[in-house]
Every structure is written in C-alpha cells, then in structure tokens.
Amino acid sequence: MRLRHIEVFHAVMQAGTISGAAQLLHISQPAVTKVLQHCELQLGMPLFDRVRGKLYPTPEAERLFVEIDKLNRDLVSIRRLAANLRSGESEQVRLVATPTLGAAVIPHAMAQWCRAYPQANCVLATNHTREIVSALLLGEADLALSLQDPRHPGIKTEVIAAGPMVALCPLGSPEAAGEGPLPLDQIRSELVALPGDDPLGSVVMNACEAQGTQPAGRLTVQTYQLARSLVEAGLGLAIVDPFTAASADRAKVRLRPVVPNLPVQLYLLTASNAPLAQTARRLVKYLSEAAKQNLENL
C-alpha cells in the first residue's frame, strides 16, 4: 500500500463514509473513491462492503486497520517533528567556545537567539581549542568558536569575524597617554604576557622579536580574560584579541591597536562529517553579528 492509500483507508475506517473521509482529508469525494478503489485493486481484495451508501469494513480491513492505525500515528509524529525542525523549535544545540569568546561574544548572541526561538534549547560550555576539537570529533558538541584554526582533517573551519590585536594600556601609563597605534618597540610598561605555546602569545612574541624589542614583564597568564583583569588592576600592559579588548573597562584602561598590525580571526569549528542543522546555522548568524558588534566597540 502506498502512503496515499494508507491515509485514505485510515480516514474511511474512521469516518465510515466517503463524504466523511473526504472532509477529514480536505479532498473531494471522487478523489477518495478513486484512491480507495485503486488500493483494493492493488491488494486484490475488497476492503469494504457497500450497503446503501455506507461502507462496512471486511474482516481483512479490520485486521489491516490495527497495523495501519499504528503507522498513521507514527506519520503524524513524523510530520510534527519535521515542522518543528523546520521552525527550529525542537532541537538542542551544543555550543562550546574558548573562555574568552564565551565571555565576550556568546552572551549577546544567545540573548538574540533565545528571543527569536523561545522553545529551542542550547547547552553551552567553554574549553581550550584542543579539548574543543575532541568534543566535536566525538559528537559531544555541534559547533564551536575559537581564535585558533586547529588545522585538523576532521574539523571544518569558517572565519566569521576578524580584527586586530589591541594593547590594553592601564590609565596613568605612558602608553595610555599616547595617541594612535602603539608601536611594539615603544612599550615601556611591564607586559602581562601569554604563554609561549599560546597561538596569540606566540604571535606577539615573534612580532616583538622582529621589531628588536622584548618588553619586560613578571606576569604570565593562561587566559586573555585574566590578562585584561590584571591590566584593569594596574599591574601592567597586555596585548590581547579584539574581543577581549572590547569588553575592557574604559574607566581603567585605554585601547590602542598595535603596530605592526597583528590580525586575529574568529573561527567557527564543526565536525567535517556532521553538517549543521537549521537551528544551529541560525545561531551562527547571531554569533557572527555579536562578534562584529564587539569589533565596532573598539
């Protein structure tokens, strides 16, 4: 039996008449009659006895109806699920980001997404890029944000925003008193540094060496957020990504782009073999918009 046969048979069994089935299905009576006749022809047996305009199911039809009724309930559930998927109201999205992006980009994006899709669910987590890659490959996350391209064959990357690294200069420092971009060889304050194995920390150190300078500093931190907090406390100058810089307290620090320009890209990471669902793609739109809004606040 074809799907249309099943729908018509089920409606006729429920209504007991051709006209009643037509009303249930929102089609014409001749259409119901034609489909029902074709169904009986394919099965090679009558399903109903016709008596004075009424249809009485045969014993074979009664037995068929038990199974078809189960199938019809499944079809209703499938249609409801498809509608929910189309509207993005039933899926759970699992998003993981590095700590900096979790604090700087995600909150505004989630506010927009939650207003747009009040019935959708999202599980949020923060981790470092190496652990993020593992989560994506193991199917424990659907999408992720990082400032690092892991260059892994199982990970698909997409740049959704980009901006320059920025010097966070504590107010009262000589760097905060200057104007325009800050040349690396003019840094006099102690540097709150990122570790040498950090991708952005490595970029800063390599750029300083290329300029023939090595800023002094006693503090090394693991996260850009901690670097920002230490600068806000007056403990030195830090060179951070633009998203961290945008969230700095302007009453305590001054932002200056550095020279030479050190570009930073924000990557959307997904598993290569797991395309994003509709709901997740909509979240990406809000994440991209929030990241670009951060850049506009520099």
> pLDDT tens across 220-245, in order?
998 899 999 999 999 999 999 999 99
Q: Nearest Cα to 109, choosing from 290, 295, 293, 284? A: 290
Q: Taking the CB of residue 22, how many other CB atoms lie within 10 A of it?
A: 20
DSSP for 190-209? Answer: PB-BPPTTSHHHHHHHHHHH
Instruction: Report the DSSP beta bridge partners of residue 54.
Output: 51
3-state secondary structure of 202: helix
Residues of the chain with pLDDT under 50: none
Q: Nearest Cα to 215, choosing from 173, 250, 252? A: 173
Burial of 250 (0-12, 13-18, 19+ CB in 10 A): exposed
User: What was the pLDDT predicted at 44?
Assistant: 87
Rounded (10°) angle between helices 3-15 and 59-87: 110
Q: Taking the CB of residue 179, how many other CB atoms lie within 10 A of it?
A: 6
8-state DSSP, 21: H
pTM over 0.75: no
